Amino acid sequence: MTATVSTQPRYQVVNPATGDAGQSFDFVTAAELEATLAASAEAYRSWRDVPIAERARIIARVGELFKENSARLGAIATEEMGKPLPESVDEADFCGDIFGYFATEGPELAADHEIKTFAEGKAYVQRLPIGPLLGIMPWNYPFYQIARFAAPNLMLGNTIILKHAESVPKSALAVQELMDEAGVPAGVYQNIFASYDQVEEIIGDPRIVGVSLTGSERAGSVVASIAGRNLKKCVLELGGSDAYVVLDSDDVKASADLAWDTRIGNTGQACNSNKRMIVTSDIFDGFVERLVERAKDLKPGDPAEAADGTFSPLSSRKAAELLHEQVQDAVSKGATLHAGGVLGDGPAAYYSPAVLTGITPEMRAYREELFGPVAVVYSVSSDEEALTLANDSDYGLGGAVFSTDTKRAERVAQRLESGMSNVNTPANEGQEVPFGGVKRSGFGRELGPLGMDEFVNKRMYYVAD
């Protein structure tokens, strides 16, 4: 019998600004995997009984350490996935806010809640931990994605095994170091360099009670299938193609600038980025003209320097090539590429920020998520046409509607088929604001009060008179 050899790459640092390979890490062995699962289950039995005030003290310290180490953490993220350094530092700092929020608000959010009962006694809903969880996190926000999953669940008393993306191993290890330094007990939070096959094994293990994944639609369908077969709760955030509707403007240039700055944040690699700009016809030409001006001003630059007038690479050469294929497909079928759209020389991962119009349903760009710095702009003649186009998507993560008449914007925003809907702002984002989507963007919520409402036993507790 011939053994099957896995072709999956190891955990590997590859600087997308240069294509140079750095450190690599092997997958865990079968014995290490078993030890991790056993430690998580054992730690849960004690962590759940730690008073929530004490858990809050430890979680607060994690948040403080994120802030204290934001410069060091930011440099790691920039090296591994190419994020402009100021954005990387801000991301690490924001993680401090997330852990701080749940440390402060968590005890009240997890408190027993008395409900009306017609029986002779008192009834409560309790929010109790359920056990060890698996988190599968992506590369685009290597710290933030962990924070929004880990902070509420650690506060609840669950334990966590964290499987990060293969391209950001140093980020994953840095978070483990912070957890250890903050005093998170052994086994409560464990980073693991697991292979795809090992992930399936972890989900199927009876000691694991739930799994949270942020990633692609394909990955989500696979994880949900495995979780379903094993009767495990899962939370999925699977990307989006958010509508960004501009109904009118008293300053078209400023409106376009805001849309552009939003679109190229994290070099366009944000799940809830404004991937479909829907603009009324009377301001469309001026809006596109300004986007083109912004795009043409940019040159490739070093993300570690993040100089004005430069753009950073995508996370990998493969990502840049995929985005280029999607744009070229649209152009070959009649779309207009006004600026950018140039794939730089390999092995680096530069793709010049682009402006694309004339997208039609037969093009890949109409249905697929464009995970990179491409501003796709549609022209519409009415609010109803804008709404119809906004909702004509398989995704339903977020969306935004702009108008000088707030009530007008609200009438459209109220009808967006999305998990998050915003009026006169690209997105209301914060540690206190729930995040999640509908349709093929997944299900479940993270952050805010709802962040502690997923992997929890909402137990009915009744005391008779």
Separate counts of helices (H) and strands (E) for the chain: 14, 22
Q: Determine whether 408 is exposed, middle or buried from the number of CB atoms within 10 Å of its CB (0-12, 13-18, 19+).
A: middle
Is 271 noted as a catalytic residue in this protein?
A: yes
* Residue in 179, 139, 132, 186 with CA at minimum distance from that of residue 157: 132
CB 293 within 8 A of CB 391: no
List the structure tokens of 152. 């509420």
Angle 302-307-309 (CA atoms, 0-180°, nearest 5)? 105
Give the integer Cα–Cα distance in Å for 161 and 180: 14
Q: How far is CA 429 from CA 68, 94, 422, 446, in A?
A: 22, 11, 10, 12
CB 36 within 8 A of CB 192: yes
* Residue in 351, 352, 363, 373 with CA at minimum distance from that of residue 275: 373
Give the integer Cα–Cα distance in Å for 249 and 254: 9
Catalytic residue among 79, 80, 166, 237: 237
Give the integer Cα–Cα distance in Å for 289 and 345: 28
Give the integer Cα–Cα distance in Å for 391 and 247: 16
- For 272, phi then psi, to 5°, come to -105, 30
List the structure tokens of 419. 């998990």
Is 200 noted as a catalytic residue in this protein?
A: no
Which residue type occupies 366? Y
CB 164 within 8 A of CB 76: no
Catalytic residue among 91, 105, 271, 454: 271
HSE-CB for 256 with a 13 A CA cutoff: 22
Active site residues: 237, 271
